[in-house]
Amino acid sequence: MTAAERTSLEITEGLAHLKLTRGDRRNAIDRALVDSLSGQVTRALADSRVRALLISADGPSFTVGGDLRHLGGELDRLPDELDSMITIYHRTLAQLAECHIPVVVAAQGGAAGGGLGLLWCADVVIAADDLRVASGFAHLGLSGDGGSSWHLPRLVGLRRAQQLILGERVLDAEEALDWGLVTRVVPAAELADEAMAQARALASGPTFSLGQMKQLLLASWSHSYPDQLAAERDAIVRCGATDDAREGLTAFEARRAPRFQGR
């Protein structure tokens, strides 16, 4: 399987749907998948038509994380291979986390290791009721990647982060929901439709202002309170100059649904 066959990308009506297509290997992440994912994300985010991004996966698992067969074949040069793969992968995760459009992830079955980074950088995570979340690095003698050490303390607190990373605790879908790691849990048979509906709803929304919201939430971790207030002021002023703001206020006065144009 070539890099191009590791993922697919379809863009329709303002929605980019990126799919992991290595379902026969439970979407284990090897160098080819990293390269393919990077290219598809860059392509989607560069397309001015795209107003939201949905990430899903073929097969029984969203992704089990790193392809241990691939890494096992690189033992004599493992540090170099990890450095090369993770540099590209982390750049892609940063693109997704910092982009100005909403990102929705639909996750089923196993979600593990570095692959969890795709969940952490999403704005909405729709989980199938068969989801299982695990880190899994400790028993490999590896410290982890995918941004878990940054996201988890913020999402669930330090003690729970320690349980997942050091203690290798495995969470089922309802536990992941209770801990705040996913947005919603649905029956596995309904996952594709529910995630698509959520992504399409976001794609039809005021995506410039949604992007500003994303940036404000990310910045809040490093800003002082006065700095964050100033950032909020600047962002809402930028939004006020858009056609979507005019449309939203006009529609409210007319008591009709707004018809947003997005970025």
**Distance separating alpha carbons of residues 144 and 59, to the nearest angstrom:** 24
* pLDDT at 5 (0 to 100): 83
Q: Which of 132, 118, 147 is nearest to 53 (CA)?
A: 118
* pLDDT at 262 (0 to 100): 85
- CATH code for the domain defined by 3-203: 3.90.226.10
* pLDDT at 2 (0 to 100): 56
Q: Which of 75, 73, 61 is nearest to 25 (CA)?
A: 61
**Distance separating alpha carbons of residues 118 and 131, to the nearest angstrom:** 14
CA dihedral angle for residue 52, residue 222, residue 146, residue 138, rounded to 10 degrees: -150
Record the pTM: 0.94
**How far from the centroid of its chain's Cα atoms is residue 149's Cα?**
16
Query: How many secondary structure helices (H) and strands (E) does the chain include?
Result: 11, 9
Q: What is the pLDDT of residues 44-68, one digit of tens each?
A: 999 999 999 999 999 999 999 999 9
Give the containing element (helix H, strand E) for 15: strand 15-20
Listed as ranges, residues in the chain with pLDDT below 50 are 1
* pLDDT at 22 (0 to 100): 97
**Distance separating alpha carbons of residues 249 and 22, to the nearest angstrom:** 45
**Distance separating alpha carbons of residues 163 and 96, to the nearest angstrom:** 26
Domain boundaries, the chain: 3-203, 207-254
Q: What is the pLDDT of residues 5-25, one digit of tens each?
A: 899 999 999 999 999 999 999
